[in-house]
Chain A
Amino acid sequence: MSSFTAVVLDALQASIGLSAAVYALSGIGINLQFGYTGILNLGQVGFMLVGAYGVAITHNLGGSLWLGILVGLAAAVVFGLLLGLPTLRLRADYLAIVTLAAAEILRLVVRARTSEPVTRSTQGIVGVAKEWFALNPIPTGRYGWDNFSFDQRALWMVLTGWTLVGLIALLMLAITRSPWGRVLHGIREDEDVARALGKNVYVYKMQTLILGGAIGALAGILLAVDAQSVFPDTWTAQVTFLGYVIVILGGPGRVLGPVVGSILYWFIIQFTDGVLQLTFNHIDQATLAPVRFIGVGVGLILLMAFRPQGLLGDRRALSVE
Chain B
Amino acid sequence: MGYSVLAVDDSPLMRTVIGRTLRMAGISVAAFHEAANGREALAALKATWVDLVVTDLNMPDMTGVEMVAHMAEDGLLKTVPVIVLSSLGEPGTLSTLRSMGVKACLRKPCSPEDLARAVRSIMEVPHAH
- Binding between chains A and B: no
